[in-house]
Amino acid sequence: MAIVLTNGVCYITTTGSGKVVKTPTLEEAQTFYGVNAAMRKISKAPGKCKGYYPYDTEEDNICRYGTEKNKERRKYSKEERKILYERSGGRCALCGRRLTLEEVTLDHILPISEGGCDDMNNLQIACFDCNQFKGNILPDEFMERVIRIFMYQTKRNIC
């Protein structure tokens, strides 16, 4: 699997100094080992990566908004859930709370309703409350929501 970030025209790459830049050629694009790693890049540089989405160059699997909206969700086995649980260290990917395997819910990092792929690389574990709170919004929108609430509550409690 070779994942790149694209907006359909350009690709994202990182310079030697760590600066995020856009390139018109696939050969110069930064490759990621999975959707999670690509989504972390988007969350670290939301301004530069706005409008970009993960694209699997080997599978020709476009995780573009709207491409899989009507696709039926896959059922994940206990073994697959355990793999995801162990990959996350048994913690909710959104709030960091330690969970038991039975408490785990699966969250699509890039929501299916927004064109996310329904595969293991686009999943993270989350507690029920965080999964419900996140709903079907994109990771950067979720972070903006959390920050907005935090800032409002901070201001409200100071006065």
- State the pLDDT at residue 70: 44
Domain membership of residue 69 (yes or no) is: no
Entry pTM: 0.56
CA distance 125 to 131: 9
**Kind of pairing between the strands at 3-6 and 53-56:** antiparallel
- How many Cβ atoms from other residues are within 10 Å of residue 3's Cβ? 26
* Domain edge (last residue) among 17, 34, 62: 62
Is it the case that residue 149 has pLDDT exceeding 70? yes
Run of H or E residues at 107: strand 105-108
| 46 within domain boundaries | yes
pLDDT band, residue 69 (cuts 50/70/90): very low
Same domain flag for 43 and 89: no
Same domain, 83 and 152: yes
**Same-domain pairing of 57 and 109:** no
pLDDT (tens digit, 9 = 90+) per residue, 112-128?
877 788 889 899 999 99
Total domains present in the chain: 2
Predicted pLDDT of residue 34: 72
pLDDT band at 146 (very low <50, low <70, confident <90, very high): very high
What band does 63 get if pLDDT is binned at 50, 70 and 90? low
Residue 82, domain CATH: 1.10.30.50
pLDDT at 1 over 70: no
Buried b (16+ CB within 10 A) or exposed e, 83-96: ebbeebeeebbbee
**For residue 19, what are the domain limits?**
3-62
82 lies in the same domain as 57: no
More reliable by pLDDT, 23 or 64: 23
What local confidence, expressed as pLDDT, does residue 61 receive?
58
